[in-house]
């Protein structure tokens, strides 16, 4: 099965997700700097979520670049991750409104954890589909980065109950872990 349709569909969904997030911005009630300053928490969480979606898209793009084809398991795994990513705008808006509250931050962390698990499931589906290609398995296999990410999300969710802003800091650390793509993947993609 050709992977181009999957890439195009995912690109479209991610563009819509980003658009929905920006639509959560409300015009300030007054035309003064204080009204703009009051929007800084919403802008901050939007920025974090925007970068998170873009990093996710970059890694997804690289993932499909090294794939030769896709099958139905990969399609379903991709839709699974898109489901969790589609909830990011809602979670972002909730945290933006109540960034110092525990339950919105717990929910935000849970959604980020689930979209990450969904991404790892997609990786596994691609590795399984290309089981005769040891190169793909070797390129994608990064268990330490995956385990550290899962552990940090779980810690962040736990910390959210007591210190929501520290949890947000943990989520930003995870974002930086994934910001720079794997050198193995970059080397392979640059050869295409």
Higher pLDDT, 50 or 2: 50
Supply the range of the domain harboring residue 17: 4-190
**What percent of the chain has pLDDT above 70?**
89
pLDDT of residue 108: 97
Chain centroid, CA 66 distance in Å: 19
Q: How confident is the model at residue 143 (pLDDT cuts 50, 70, 90)?
A: confident
Query: How high is the pLDDT of residue 191?
Result: 60
Q: What is the mean pLDDT of residues 68-87?
A: 94
**Confidence class for position 15, pLDDT limits 50, 70, 90:** very high
CB distance 173 to 48 below 8 Å: no
Angle between helices 72-86 and 102-129 (to 10 degrees): 170
How close are the terminal C-alpha atoms of the chain, in Å? 19
Considering its fold, how many domains does the chain have in total?
1
Could you write out the DSSP letters of every residue in the chain?
--SHHHHHHHHHHHHHHHHHHHHTPPPPSSSSHHHHHTTHHHHHHHHHHHHHHHHHHHHHHHHHHH-S---HHHHHHHHHHHHHHHTHHHHHHHHHHSTT-HHHHHHHHHHHHHHHHHHHHHHHHHHHHTTT-HHHHHHH--HHHHHHHHHHHHHHHHHHTT-HHHHHHHHHHHHHHHHSPPHHHHHHHHT-
Span 49-59, average pLDDT: 92
- For the cut 80, the answer to whether the pLDDT of residue 142 exceeds it is no
In the prediction, which pLDDT does 28 show? 81
Digit-coded pLDDT (tens) for 101-138 = 999 999 999 999 999 999 999 989 988 888 877 667 66
pLDDT of residue 33: 85
Mean pLDDT (the chain) is 88
Whether 62 has a pLDDT exceeding 90, the answer reads no
Q: Average pLDDT for residues 12-23, to the nearest whole number? A: 92
In this predicted structure, the answer to whether residue 141 has a pLDDT above a threshold of 70 is: no
DSSP secondary structure, 65-89, as one string: HH-S---HHHHHHHHHHHHHHHTHH
Torsion of CA 5, 189, 61, 52, to 10 degrees: 180
pLDDT of residue 34: 87
């Amino acid at each position: 099965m050709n992977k181009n349709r999957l890439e195009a569909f995912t690109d479209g969904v991610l563009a819509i997700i980003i658009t929905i997030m920006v639509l959560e911005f409300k015009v300030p009630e007054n035309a003064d700097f204080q009204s703009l300053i009051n929007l800084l928490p919403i802008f901050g969480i939007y920025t974090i979520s925007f970068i998170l979606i873009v990093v996710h898209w970059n890694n997804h793009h690289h993932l499909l670049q090294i794939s030769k084809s896709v099958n139905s398991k990969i399609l379903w795994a991709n839709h699974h991750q898109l489901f969790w990513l589609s909830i990011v705008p809602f979670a972002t808006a909730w945290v933006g409104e109540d960034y110092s509250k525990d339950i919105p931050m717990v929910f935000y962390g849970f959604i980020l954890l689930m979209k990450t698990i969904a991404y790892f499931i997609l990786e596994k589906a691609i590795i399984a589909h290309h089981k005769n290609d040891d190169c793909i398995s070797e390129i994608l296999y990064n268990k330490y980065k995956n385990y550290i990410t899962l552990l940090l999300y779980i810690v962040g969710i736990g910390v959210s109950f007591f210190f929501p802003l520290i949890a947000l800091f943990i989520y930003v650390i995870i974002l930086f872990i994934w910001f720079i793509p794997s050198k193995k993947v970059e080397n392979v993609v640059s050869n295409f």
